[in-house]
Amino acid sequence: MIKKLSLAVIGGTAAGMSAALKARSLLPNLQIAVFERTNYVTHGSCGIPYYIGGEISDYNELITYTPVFLREERNIEVYVGHEVTEIDLNKRIITIKDLQTGKIANNIFKKLVIATGASPIVPKIPGIDSPLVHKVRTIEDSLKIKNDLEKGFVKKVVIIGAGFVGLEMAEALSKWNIEVILLEALPTILPRTNPVLVKLIEDEITKNGVKLYKNTRVNKVVSDIKNKKAEVFTEDGKQFDTNMIIASIGVRPNSQIAETARISVGKTGGIVVNEYMETNIDNIWACGDCVQMQHLVSGEPCWYPLGPTANKQGKIVGENVVGGKVSFSGVLGTQVTKIFDLYVAMTGLSEIEVQKFGYDTALVEISHRDKASYYPNRQNVHIIMLINKSNGRILGVQLAGSVLAALRINVFATAIATGMTVKKLAELDLAYEPSMAPVYDPILISGIIGLKELKRIRK
């Protein structure tokens, strides 16, 4: 007999479980089943580098709720280790594979939420399937990495891909006093990031002993699994011996299952949803890292696999599946990454994007202390701001500095969300306290300099 589900949710991380929990809180008797491919739900993958690095000693701390809790206290049927392999739109059936037993089951759904998330892209090169090669996404990934580290055989690690995950892993692995080699295929790391900030990041990792090689594309991995050794070969003829390889060249939305079912997928690779997070199919919603989003500044489709967005979207879906009509307005892609002692933050459009979308922009670069001139341990906040020349509005901001710098990104995110001009930014009544801000906050300075730059250009 085919089981019938009132609400089926594919994926039990941020978006999927937010949807399930919100629906539960609104409809206490709704039958809800959540299928999660890994063995964990509600885990924060942003915390993985901290678990690897040792700031967090127990991986259970990365997990908000256990399946047992969700079943017993929230009456949500949670199936971990279960992968949904197919969606049949005609029969309204999902096919579920128990990954442990291999058993296949078909369930009829009335309503469906797709929250399949994103997966690391693994470079297609010989030898990449070696057990010495690790991804960084799931709790299982992090357990494998930590397990190898704890065994003590890892003297050298090669990280393939110097994106933000690669950089965070470089820091985390450095804490094990092992040699960390970071390989980037492109001529520059972080192409969305302003070169001034990239230079700060490169200086920070180099200062901390990480060996960065740019323009270095890996084309082969040869493993000696018995002796826990591998050789990493690159296109330009370099060769690195190592005991651990981290593949972190990027992530992509898990939208294949939707695409196969003919649910609409956009040019970003994410599932297309409207403002209510509805797909093009009745009674099927999607949310989180698997969906395409709309950028609040450009109005263009974009894709940012970020936790706060996934959580917010999941909650909205949870409300809408039980009859609500809540909308999601869009994203700015606000994000912060900590790389050793340097925080890098961004919100809104980057230089690549303003070019792509044809904005006529002014770029302002400032560097200003994060505390009063006389206060000890002050550091500079480096701010790059992009301004729409035609109307003075802020299009995007990237900054780097201490944690005090990083928190300032939220003011820019708030300003951009309201379409604020640099003039208005310069007028904001912001706080001054010698230990956390100079009398002219760096945010105000960026507004003042931005205004000056616009005046200069318009002359």
Q: Which is nearer to a copy of itself, 33 or 425 (CB)?
A: 425
Q: Which is nearer to a copy of itself, 57 or 177 (CB)?
A: 57
Q: Is 302 a catalytic residue?
A: no
Applying CB under 8 A, the residues found at the interface with a copy of itself are 14, 44, 46-47, 50, 55-56, 61-62, 64, 296, 306-309, 311-312, 328-329, 331-338, 343, 345, 347, 372-376, 403-404, 406-411, 413-415, 417-418, 420, 424, 427-437, 439-441, 443-444
Residue closest to 135 by CA, chosen among 38, 18, 234, 13: 38
Q: Which is nearer to a copy of itself, 79 or 343 (CB)?
A: 343
Residue 181 CB, shortest distance to a copy of itself, in Å, is: 25
Angle between helices 14-26 and 307-320 in degrees, nearest 10: 30
Q: Which of 46, 287, 290, 302 is catalytic?
A: 46
Residue closest to 165 by CA, chosen among 337, 396, 37, 422: 337
Q: Which two tokens stand for residue 295?
A: 């950028």
Do the beta carbons of residue 334 and residue 346 sit within 8 Å? yes
Q: Which is nearer to a copy of itself, 127 or 314 (CB)?
A: 314
Residue closest to 305 by CA, chosen among 104, 93, 163, 154: 163
Residue closest to 298 by CA, chosen among 348, 347, 333: 348
Q: Which is nearer to a copy of itself, 240 or 328 (CB)?
A: 328
Residue 353 CB, shortest distance to a copy of itself, in Å, is: 15
Residue 425 CB, shortest distance to a copy of itself, in Å, is: 8
Beta-carbon contacts of residue 447 (< 8 Å; ≥ 6 apart): 422, 423, 424, 425, 426, 427, 428
Residue 347 CB, shortest distance to a copy of itself, in Å, is: 7
Distance of CA 185 to the CA centre of its chain: 20
CA atoms within 13 A on the CB side of 86: 10
CA distance 344 to 402: 9
Residue 87 CB, shortest distance to a copy of itself, in Å, is: 28
Active site residues per annotation: 46
